[in-house]
Amino acid sequence: MGTVNPYFNNLCINIALTTAGAFPTSLVAWDGSAGNAIAFQCIAEDGNTVNVDSTATKYRTNDNKLYAVTQEQEGVTMASLYDRGQLPTTWIRSQKSKQQSGVKILQIFGLGIFDGKNQEQFAIGDLVSKRVLTAGEPANDTYEFNSTPPTSAFVLTTGNMSAIESLLSVTIRATADVTIPTDEQDIIVYTA
């Protein structure tokens, strides 16, 4: 794994949305058994990936002429967590029951600096609980997030962002409302 450097946007925020897919009316920091917000601040600087892969299916006639193409996208965020404490572990493992009740997660993932601007990914989806065990080392939970595009546009307001920053003692770089469009895997925001 690489080095931890929180000064270069090495941060991932999760907010559990309501079952209707809305931003919660009240934010509560995760305490190990209850809450709807957490910030992962100890993430390996390298080895993190945010991918949106496309798969095309081609439909052909009997004489092999192409008549249609459909495309399916899958967005996946992977990260290695250095923080092996109780809060990240219990948050990740608690997500299976939340998924079953229809709760989605808003992910804000700091991607670092590119071309002099901070990059942040905003996405809605589900966490997958994964654990890596290596002999002689402590158990390591791997962060995996699968984005599921919203069926209607999701707007994260600057007021929502301020509430997150205040509760979790983090900095979100975006300076205006962020909209995840209908049927989009994510949106990347660049801020000077």
Does residue 137 sit within a domain? yes
Does residue 1 sit within a domain? no
Does residue 151 sit within a domain? yes
Does residue 134 sit within a domain? yes
- Range of the structural domain that residue 150 is part of: 6-191
Work out how many domains the chain is built from and give that number: 1
The pLDDT tens digits of the residues spanning 26-63 come to: 999 999 999 999 998 766 655 555 555 556 677 778 88
Does residue 154 sit within a domain? yes
How much is the mean pLDDT over the chain?
81
Does residue 30 sit within a domain? yes
The pLDDT tens digits of the residues spanning 148-177 come to: 888 899 999 999 999 999 999 999 999 999
- Three-state SS string across 75-141, please? EEEEEEECCCCHHHHHHHHHHHHHHHCCCCEEEEEEEEEECCEEEEEEEEEEEEEEEECCCCCCCEE
What CA–CA distance (Å, rounded) separates 98 from 3?
Answer: 32
The pLDDT tens digits of the residues spanning 124-143 come to: 999 887 766 677 766 666 77
Does residue 141 sit within a domain? yes
Does residue 185 sit within a domain? yes
| Full-model pTM | 0.79
